[in-house]
Amino acid sequence: MPVAIVTGGSRGLGRALVHRLAGHGWAVITDARDARALSEAVEGLPPERVRAVTGDVGHPSHREALVAAASALGGLDALVLNAGALGPSPLPAVADYPLGALAEVLHANVVAQVGLVQAALDVLRPGGVVVAVTSDAARAAYPGWGGYGASKAALERVAAVLAAEREDLRVYVADPGDMRTAMHAAAFPGEDISDRPPPEASVPGLVRLLAGDLPSGRYEVRSLAGAEVSP
């Protein structure tokens, strides 16, 4: 049974991916800071397949706990860096961006992610997969998206360098596209986001990255043709 760590499994894309993987032969370790939301999110999933570990991926001891859970299952096949921070809502212009909030976004979306990769590399099996979930805001200059966009751009670069350093792994930068989630609602406060696709629409492409043999690189997951689920 392949083993994945998927951070941020209590809602949105992480929850959708955890459910899909757990239903298709994977063992999944997932997390979130809100214990109650996390336990509700995994309710009904087979406990022998899903381990929910409450905590903040920004904290080293929590990252170690995630990796220890994978180790207890014999090793790790896939690490999905999904949990992330948007920053203040409404999104501030660069001119007004509170520096403390900027540091928090960079810590959550870059430093914590590198910390988790570092902690997980020892248990990642040869041929293992790292998926860094990014955003088009890493590349396009949307007003208000300077903090979040800068953090995702940095995450993308770290993942690309990891791919160059570790040819024994597959390292993906995965853009899920706009999704109807809590983060998206916070990015567009007061706006109707009901026209955005649900996070489930981005899951088949992510599964294709996890279970396929595509080369390391950046992918817009909703446009991955033939995306299907097999462990």
Q: What is the total count of residues that contact ligand NAP (CB under 6 A)?
A: 31
CA distance 35 to 103: 25
Asked if residue 119 binds ligand NAP (CB under 6 A), the reply is: no
Q: Of 97, 142, 148, 219, which residue is the catalytic one? A: 148
Question: Nearest 5°: CA angle at 205, between 147 and 38?
Answer: 65
Q: Does 8 bind ligand NAP (CB under 6 A)?
A: yes
DSSP letter for 84, please.
-
Contacts of 95 (CB under 8 A, 6+ apart): none
Region for residue 12 given its phi and psi (left: phi exceeds 0; alpha: psi -120 to 50; beta: otherwise): left
Of 82 and 216, the one with the shorter C-beta distance to ligand NAP is 82
Query: Which of 3, 116 has the CB closer to ligand NAP?
Result: 116
Residue 151 engages ligand NAP in binding (rule: CB under 6 A): no
State yes or no: is 148 an active-site residue: yes
Nearer to ligand NAP, 2 or 84 (CB): 84
Question: Does residue 141 contact residue 94 with C-beta atoms inside 8 Å?
Answer: no
The catalytic residues are 148
Residues that bind ligand NAP (CB under 6 A): 7-14, 31-34, 37, 56-58, 82-85, 108, 133, 135, 176, 178-179, 181-184, 199
